[in-house]
Chain A
Amino acid sequence: MIDWGAIFSNAAVELISPTTAAYALAALGLAIHFGYTGLLNFGQAGFMALGAYGYAISTLSFGFPVWAAVLVGIGASVIFALILGIPTLRLRADYLAIVTIAAAEIVRLLFTTNSFEPITGSANGLSGYKGGFADLNPIPDGTYGFGPFEYNAYDWWLRIVAWTIVILACLFTWQIMRSPWGRVIKGIREDEDAVRALGKNVYFYKMQSLILGGVFGTVAGMIFVLPRAVVPSNYQTSLTFFIYAILLLGGAATILGPVIGSMIFWVLLSFFSGFIARAVEAGWIPFMTSIQAGQLRFILVGVAIMLIVIFRPQGIFGNKKELAFVK
């Protein structure tokens, strides 16, 4: 018989997991790029990889403290954004898409190659960089919480930090998007020539947006690796597409959309994988092995996202009116 309680509690755990927070923050960065500025960045996985590796390498190879390791990651992503942006932001939007998708793959392959094995750990990745972050933990040892949300001190510390960063990033984004800066950014999304004709340095604004959203992705990459190890295969293009799925699910030009979208995405994913695995065990799906079942969850999530995009194309928080006008 299926243990529904376990399925639901495993799904509920995803609501506040650090991975959900990391995806929410990366999706918020993408909302700045795609939803507000209209930049087609398909390389968010590359920004996340730079955050993860920037943090891990500067901790492991150079013994940097946490704050310096964070700054290294952010610095790397700013440079990455400049390299991507300088040649492409003067061109049409689709060129940025091509360049970012390729650049993110280059970043991942550079971290995977054996040539830099002593520093990057090659395909095995890196681990053992969490000491500095754990030492900052003010929570005394022990287990806290209730029901499915019962964690030790490190896990609570990680969740508190991760979601604090997400909340701060949301407040920051909300504030700048309702400022004159945000108005210019949204104007660029609508028609950059018109904004240029009004005396705004469109190229400069697009660069700022690319860097800002990229930094969000980088910090997300750091949060993403704190509960696990740094593994290069995590930063494939599919990661970017999951983040796009989250963004479209929540609403592209919204603040809360990426956060709620990430929660829904991870809860659904956990629910489906738990349900299918147990259903196969219980013999409900006789034609399927448990390995096949592991892949089926992505198919089901894909179907769920298709349904949402078809029947609620503006996302959960998007404004229906915005889609009433066909461009």
Chain B
Amino acid sequence: MSSNSVPTAKPVKTVGMHIGEAVPGCKKKDPILVVDSVSRTFGGLKAVDVEHLEIPRGAITALIGPNGAGKTTLFNLLTGFDKPDTGSWTFEGTPIGGMAAFKVARMGQVRTFQLTKALGLLTVMDNMLLGAKAQVGENLFRAVLPFLWRQQEADNRVKALDLLARFKLDTKKDDYAASLSGGQRKLLEMARALMSDPTLVMLDEPMAGVNPALTQSLLDHILNLKAEGMSVLFVEHDMHMVRHIADWVIVMAEGRVVAEGDPHEVMRNQAVIDAYLGQHHDEDLGEDPDAEKQNVGAIKELLDDEL
């Protein structure tokens, strides 16, 4: 495995998913998630204000934007972890606006968290088994009668071992999740999400806090999700990664979707540059020069990559 976080083999990109111009809120040929006029305010701050958004099926979609753009809030809303002030959305044609998080997950839309939520004092195997859907033994009365769920448990165990092997965690299966490294916990969280055979996997900053040696394998795992027919929506700050694996990029700023498009096209969009650098970047560096410098760095990085 190369220590370079950008692999040499280019993943196959899905193209031609949208209808008409690639403008914010443009229609997709086969959307899996359709969002309409969703807004969420915290006090006086409008954290999310999205008029229309469609997430394509069978593709990897990246949700990017500067800090405070409302990416994670939108994530929380779409997965039922937060309630919107207004708005509705459908998942595979079923309206799920305002639905409880556990019901959303049961429908096949699972998420991971920015701050990894490995269940520390459960073993890695128990973490995995918890991800399986429709378990007979999760009913209190049937739990008392092991013969009702023993077979299903054994099947889930086989499936979990298979997934753990793919994520190279199979040797750790009997360890407490708390003993894993940060990167391994990210892998475990992703593997656990896959136990439920989701159709849409939503990853909140999958690369945050992962050491470069693991980055490559995480990237491959995300690409594998797509290869297996799942749709992926992820929030990420690492532009190399976005460019490398995303088929479609949605850019948010100040709660709104400001641009959408192919990862190479969208970075040149004036709205994106404005979002990252501020509209008057040529006049004033603003109150927080460090943050501005980082953003300038990010944009430079992007432009360098292009050349």
A positions within 8 Å CB-CB of B: 172, 175-176, 179-184, 186-187, 189-191, 193-202, 208, 212, 321-322, 325, 327
Contact = CB atoms under 8 A, between A and B. Distances in A.
Contacts of A193: 81, 101, 113, 117
Q: Among the interface residues B100, B102, B126, which one has the most CB atoms of the partner chain A within 10 A?
A: B102
B143 interface: yes
B179 A199 contact: no
Interface of B: 79, 81, 100-103, 105-106, 110-113, 117-122, 126-127, 129-131, 133, 135-140, 143-144, 146, 149, 153, 176, 178-179, 189, 192-193, 195-196
A196 B102 contact: yes
A175 B149 CA distance: 13
B102 A201 contact: yes
B138 A190 contact: no
A183 B126 contact: yes
Nearest to A208: B140
A181 B176 contact: no
Contact of B176 (A200, A208, A321): A321
Contacts of A186: 119, 121-122, 126
B121 A179 contact: no
20 contacts: A179-B137, A179-B146, A183-B122, A183-B129, A183-B130, A186-B119, A186-B126, A187-B130, A191-B117, A193-B101, A197-B81, A197-B117, A198-B193, A199-B106, A199-B133, A201-B100, A212-B140, A322-B176, A325-B176, A327-B120
Contact of B138 (A175, A180, A189, A191): A180
A191 B101 CA distance: 14
Given A184-B130, A321-B176, A325-B176, A194 B119 contact: yes
**Most chain A Cβ neighbours within 10 Å, of B81, B110, B119, B139:** B119
Given A176-B140, A187-B130, A197 B121 contact: no
A199 B79 CA distance: 11
Contacts of B138: 180-181, 183-184, 200
B79 A197 contact: yes
Given A198-B110, A321-B176, A179 B122 contact: no
B144 A197 contact: no
Given A180-B149, A183-B129, A191-B117, A198 B196 contact: yes
A100 B178 CA distance: 31
Contacts of B79: 197
A194 B130 CA distance: 10
A180 B192 CA distance: 15
Nearest to A181: B143
Contacts of A325: 120-121, 176, 178-179
Contacts, number: 108
B113 A175 contact: no
Given A183-B129, A325-B120, 9 more contacts: A179-B149, A180-B149, A193-B81, A194-B119, A197-B112, A198-B193, A198-B196, A200-B138, A208-B140
A202 B102 contact: yes
Given A183-B126, A208-B140, A322 B135 contact: no
A270 B84 CA distance: 59
A181 B140 CA distance: 6
Nearest to B108: A199
A190 B119 contact: yes
Contacts of A194: 113, 117-119, 189
A199 B196 contact: yes
Contacts of B121: 186, 189-190, 322, 325
Contact of A175 (B100, B118, B146, B196): B146
Contacts of B133: 199
Nearest to A178: B146
Given A187-B130, A199-B133, A175 B102 contact: no
Interface centre among A179, A184, A325, A327 (most CB of B within 10 A): A179
Nearest to A186: B122
B143 A180 contact: yes
Given A193-B81, A196-B102, A325-B176, A187 B196 contact: no
Nearest to A191: B117
A199 B122 CA distance: 18
A179 B137 CA distance: 6
Contacts of A179: 137, 143-144, 146, 149
Contact of B120 (A181, A184, A190, A202): A190
A177 B130 CA distance: 13
Closest 4 CB pairs of A and B: A180-B137, A194-B117, A199-B105, A179-B143
A179 B156 CA distance: 13
B180 to A, nearest CB: 10
B192 A198 contact: yes
B206 to A, nearest CB: 14
A193 B81 CA distance: 8
A316 to B, nearest CB: 18
Nearest to B133: A199
Contacts of B101: 193, 196-197
A208 B141 CA distance: 11
